[in-house]
Structure 1
Amino acid sequence: MPAIDTLHSFVNTWECDENDHLNVQFYFAKIDEADRQFRFLTGLSDAVVGVRRVRHVRYHGELFAAALITVRSSVAFDGPHVLSVVHEMIDASNGRLAATVLDGYAPQPKAAKDLRKRFADVDAPMPEMAAPRSFDAPAAATTDTADVLLKAGALSVNRATVMPRDCTAEGRAEDRFLLNCFTDGAPHLWERTAMTRAWLEKNDYGRVAMEMKLSYGTVLKAGTPVQVMSGFTGVSKKTFSFRHHLFDSAAGRLAAVMDVTALVMDLEARKAVPLSDAARADITRLQLKP
């Protein structure tokens, strides 16, 4: 069966960042709304399939102010998880694929047959474009402590507090809040390398994420103070990767882990530029130690 439309939306100017395109936190916010609609339309719930373990996002094209957005959603049983929900975000004005989202669930394998029947109307083959590329599909472990990460070379890059406005109707912090913490913290990590703000502005370059993997740990509620600790995890000719760890500061527990593959983009040509030798050397030097 084909995927079903779960969102018709629009890119507002205030949702765009310094690169003049939709900020990643609002990609997540729009996907969250599509997911809520998908759950309403299909009956998918935590009681039926368990909690979401991981959300894997690949960015395929930029969305600029005034872009029309359509999201199509489906269930896939041929993906890397026992049950996957796939969201495809489309630029509705030209039909171009903007992003794919793969949500991973782990219901009991013996329940798969019943789940196939339950979701037969929205069961579709997983699109190849949604398959993880930079990172393994399973959720990352959420057992590290702050002390372990400090010894591995992680840096504290963000502190924030979960406010009621940041929470879902069920009282849990939204993904948009997590992404806001990560994206506000990431520049502090970049600044430790040759890719400083001054260098980016001088060359008219921007910071761009290509792929993200969000693994969930403990639930965050309103009033919870949080801290993000981050470090680099790899580098190649044009791309590099880093990992954010978001802690519940009061409890000392890891609430979420975000893996990111990023690049430097020429904002005039809208193309990736090779990393300098200095940037690669800095990233290698600052990589998290095992």
Structure 2
Amino acid sequence: MEQEATYRGTVYPWHCDHVGHMNIMWYVGKFDEANWNLFARLGLTPSYLRISGRGMAAVQQNISYRRELLAGDIVEIRSHLLEVGDKSIRFRHDLTNAETGELAATCEIIGVHMDRSQRKSVPFEAVIRELALRHLVEPVEA
């Protein structure tokens, strides 16, 4: 399923390292910003998280770097929900150079839904799980 972008931005000169390309810390930051836009689409909005006392925690993150990004490049991230469990989701971000369309990096993450006060994982509410299932790359019947 084609998704709308979850992040759009620019590579600024201060994002670049001594080699002249965007440093890895900025890839992680841009992927993190995409996380929150993806979560909001799944009903895990800032309001929901604040009011319910819930949160999301990354427990695994794997990044593959494909092409370098340089100062001035316009970037876009599209996110794909790959799996929905009772308490966790697995998703992938594709970071592309918006001008050339080239894939610059991918990031696959497993995130766990948690109770912030108890500091432990908890199941997603049914309404959120149902919404998430509709966003799967290959949707399953709920």
2:82 is aligned with 1:240: no
Q: Higher relative contact order at CA 8 Å, sep ≥6: structure 1 or structure 2?
A: 2
Following TM superposition, by how much is the alpha carbon of 1:208 offset from its aligned partner in structure 2, in angstroms?
1.2
2:47 is aligned with 1:198: yes
1:13 maps to none
Q: Note if contact 1:155-1:189 (Cα within 8 Å) is conserved in structure 2.
A: no
Aligned residue type for 1:157 = T
Moved over 3 A (4+): none
1:189 maps to 38
Q: Note if contact 1:154-1:288 (Cα within 8 Å) is conserved in structure 2.
A: no
2:133 is aligned with 1:284: yes
2:120 is aligned with 1:271: yes
2:96 is aligned with 1:258: no
Q: Note if contact 1:153-1:286 (Cα within 8 Å) is conserved in structure 2.
A: no
Give the alignment of 1:117-266 within 5 angstroms.
152-266=1-115
Taking the aligned partners of 1:178 and 1:289, their CA distance within structure 2 comes to 27
Give the alignment of 1:37-52 within 5 angstroms.
none
Aligned residue type for 1:156 = A
Aligned residue type for 2:108 = D
Taking the aligned partners of 2:87 and 2:50, their CA distance within structure 1 comes to 19
Taking the aligned partners of 2:121 and 2:90, their CA distance within structure 1 comes to 15
- 3-state SS in 2 of match to 1:242: strand
Following TM superposition, by how much is the alpha carbon of 1:260 offset from its aligned partner in structure 2, in angstroms?
0.7
**Alpha-carbon RMSD:** 1.5
- 3-state SS in 1 of match to 2:47: helix
Paired residue total: 139
Taking the aligned partners of 2:97 and 2:138, their CA distance within structure 1 comes to 23
Q: 1:171-228 CA deviation, whole Å, 9 max, x = no partner?
A: 1111111111111121111111232221111012222111011011111111111011
Q: 1:98-150 CA deviation, whole Å, 9 max, x = no partner?
A: xxxxxxxxxxxxxxxxxxxxxxxxxxxxxxxxxxxxxxxxxxxxxxxxxxxxx
Aligned residue type for 1:251 = T
Taking the aligned partners of 2:43 and 2:33, their CA distance within structure 1 comes to 19
Aligned residue type for 2:104 = A
- 3-state SS in 2 of match to 1:158: strand
Taking the aligned partners of 1:223 and 1:153, their CA distance within structure 2 comes to 26
Which has the larger Rg? 1
Taking the aligned partners of 1:243 and 1:154, their CA distance within structure 2 comes to 12
The runs of 5 or more residues in structure 2 that have no matched partner are: none
- 3-state SS in 2 of match to 1:222: coil
Specify which structure has the higher proportion of strand: 2
Following TM superposition, by how much is the alpha carbon of 1:282 offset from its aligned partner in structure 2, in angstroms?
1.4
Following TM superposition, by how much is the alpha carbon of 1:241 offset from its aligned partner in structure 2, in angstroms?
0.9
Q: Which moved more, 1:248-257 or 1:273-282?
A: 273-282
Q: 1:60-100 CA deviation, whole Å, 9 max, x = no partner?
A: xxxxxxxxxxxxxxxxxxxxxxxxxxxxxxxxxxxxxxxxx
Following TM superposition, by how much is the alpha carbon of 1:253 offset from its aligned partner in structure 2, in angstroms?
0.5
